[in-house]
Chain A
Amino acid sequence: MTDTITQGVTVTKTGEKGAFGGELLTVNFGPHHPSTHGVLRLIVDLDGEQVRSLKPVIGYLHTGIEKQMEALRWQQGVTVTDRHDYLSPPINNLAYALAVEKLMGVVVPPRADALRVIMSELTRLSSHLVWMGTSGLELGAMSMLMYCFRERDTILDMNEEISGFRMHTSYIRPGGVMADATPRFLEMLDRFIHDMPGHVDEYENLLTNNPIWRSRTIGIGRLSAEDAKVLGATGPMLRGSGVAWDLRRSIPYSGYENYDFEIATSDMCDCYGRYLVRIKEMREAVKILRQALDRLPDGPVNVDDRKMLPPPREELETSMEAVIHHFKLFTEGYSVPPGDVYVAVESGRGENGCYVVSDGTHKPRRVKFRSASFVNLQALEQMSLNHMIADMVAIIGTADTVLGDCDR
């Protein structure tokens, strides 16, 4: 077994006869392969160049995140949630924060909710931009990478302005957000919202009617609506098959019910349909950002609970109680009432949920991440059967799995 892994692409003959008179070949694809979006390994049975069966092998990026969370205190866990789906850190933070808040019965102030929505949508944009850049690169449109990463860098600069960190912001925490938005952040956001629709037009000019892009994606990787539902697919995989299911609309959280946006769907059921869904989602995300910025309420960004969040810096110098709370919080942490809760949020890939079990202590008993990539990847075989092996690249690309999310 190890021999076939280590040799990269190894071919063995299975002895079965294929439809074209030849024998079926078993080909190992990955885990070190430039087009598998990380360390995904596929074992493919090929008849000529056509895929007859496919078995994904995962776990090459297993990080032990769930075990690590059990060893950390409730407020420390936020930093770990950042790193499991590393293309959408604030959305992971949000799932965890909402779960802990729901267990504790805490409601965050409206400004915190609005900032959470802003960060979620910015992240969705940057996640889709990385997807489009790398998928374009794999299918021969190298300039897409340059254009998409240009806008992604603008978003990361905003992340840095609001949280001090480019990628793993840890910005959304149980009880609110890390800090209030700075005036410079709001200014940058305003400019970004103004520019972004033009950039999306640019991407569409490059890809939507591009004959190479169309011929490599239309009719490739078909997944019917029934199959998508049965296989539990979520996110653009499901919406690309024409099912209008979006957690932001169906089970709203963080005040998404107050925003006016459309659920992007496409009836094409193929790679091109999923591409159209993501383009539409980017436009809708800009719309949500505009509404959130225009209606950004004033007020605090954290719950007023000294047992849960540290006191403000200036209070530490004058108040003895603030020092005690600060000390207690950073040595012992807070405890969460016993019980369990599941909260799901819509990430760029689908339903990212967090199932939290508390036994009443200052550390979680169990944290389970329901990751969209893990479930969506099971639909890969259904999508790629009887396609050419070269089309696998497009199919893996538009499934948009993040292996960190999948293996956790």
Chain B
Amino acid sequence: MGVEALAESLGRNILTTTLGKVVGWGRGNSVWPAQFGLACCAIEMIATATAGVDIGRFGSEAFRASPRQSDLMIVSGRVSQKMAPILRTIYDQMPEPKWVISMGACASTGGIFNNYALLQGVDKIVPVDVYIPGCPPRPEDLLNALMILQERIKAQGILPQQ
């Protein structure tokens, strides 16, 4: 094979890109959520994983039971004052980089329960990347939030700014 032919065949098979884009692409398309259900929204989260909506199309069907293996926490439901320290611990146990979706009105703001028992928004204890409105949001809303998060992850590169 001559040098020209070699150069030509390499040109067809080699892409040049930045490492950040490749890592972002990989991370964004394999977001593994922690299997962490709280209240009503958890049922819709389960519905998102079933055949009708199929979160697996976006590479996130692997709900991990252990926070050590997951990089997305979907806070699906209301967070009580008693649950808040546990939620924070689970977040701390997740490896970097990690992201949080606050699913539903209760997780985002306390929703209709403006009272002593509930944390008025999960962003008081963990940083939230995407908020989903709704009580509970439809499964399609969760997919939309996941796609927004994927775009963000892809743009972040190697070292995501937390």
Contact = CB atoms under 8 A, between A and B. Distances in A.
* Touching chains A and B, CB distance < 8 Å: yes
Given A61-B38, A63-B117, A404-B40, A34 B136 contact: no
Max count, chain B CB within 10 A of own CB: residue among A59, A61, A65: A61
Interface string B82-97: 1101100110000000
Interface stretch (A80-88, A103-111, A222-230, A290-298): A80-88
A201 interface: no
B115 A64 contact: yes
A384 B36 CA distance: 25
Interface residues of A, number: 39
B78 interface: yes
B37 to A, nearest CB: 6
A152 B47 contact: yes
A168 B77 CA distance: 13
Given A64-B117, A167-B44, A79 B112 contact: yes
Contact of A68 (B39, B46, B77, B113): B113
Contacts, number: 105
A162 to B, nearest CB: 17
A60 B86 contact: yes
Interface residues of B, number: 37
B35 A61 contact: no
Nearest to A165: B135
A63 B118 contact: yes
B43 interface: yes
B14 to A, nearest CB: 41
A323 interface: no
B52 interface: yes
A2 B85 contact: yes
A166 interface: yes
Contact of B83 (A60, A68, A134, A145): A60
A63 B38 contact: no
A248 interface: no
A62 interface: yes
Contacts of A130: 43, 46
Interface string A69-107: 001000000011001001100000000000000000000
A79 B78 CA distance: 15
8 contacts: A34-B35, A38-B37, A38-B38, A38-B42, A59-B82, A83-B135, A150-B52, A403-B39
